[in-house]
Amino acid sequence: MTAAGKISIALYHQNGLLVRILARLLEVSQVLPHLRRLLNTINDDFCVRINEEFGRDIGLGKVQAARGLLIHRVELWQGRIKDYCIVAPTECNFHPQGVVAQSLKSLQANDSELLRQQAECLINSIDPCVHYDLTLIDSDKAQSTHA
């Protein structure tokens, strides 16, 4: 498929399941060549010291993981870990304004069971490592909660 064909599919289907699966397949096809390039050019660009004071170091590492951006922050004090923080892709994926919420809004089905199946496939394609409870609410019957 040409790049123009991939773009037209992405524009037509926006951020739905087909586009996500197509992107995964494209990434998988590029993994080995990318790994070969990485092995030939290993360096420390993925990890940055953001603060160095006497006895205190803070480092920030980030990498594009399979489910999205993964960030680690470590603070050392006199050679010991004082603070460690991780921002996992799940936190961004399942944010109320994140990709899961936005993608779920685009789903359409005439049948609630079909809608549930679409939602489950979408959620699992974005982040299969997360346990979730899915509740379907009929928007025509739901009470309005506008402020």
Residue 125 placed within a domain: yes
Domain containing residue 82:
44-87
Q: Report H helices in 1-70.
A: 3-13, 17-40
Judgement on whether residues 82 and 95 belong to the same structural domain of the protein: no
Which residue type sits at 112?
S
Judgement on whether residues 38 and 51 belong to the same structural domain of the protein: no
E strands in the chain: 47-53, 56-65, 68-77, 80-87
Question: Which tens digit of pLDDT belongs to each residue from 71-128?
Answer: 999 888 877 888 999 999 898 889 999 889 999 988 888 888 999 999 999 999 888 8
46, 61 Cβ separation under 8 angstroms = yes
Question: Which tens digit of pLDDT belongs to each residue from 20-78?
Answer: 778 778 877 877 777 677 666 655 555 555 556 555 688 888 888 878 889 999 888 87
Number of domains in the chain: 3
Judgement on whether residues 61 and 33 belong to the same structural domain of the protein: no
Judgement on whether residues 31 and 48 belong to the same structural domain of the protein: no
Judgement on whether residues 34 and 60 belong to the same structural domain of the protein: no
Residue 75 placed within a domain: yes
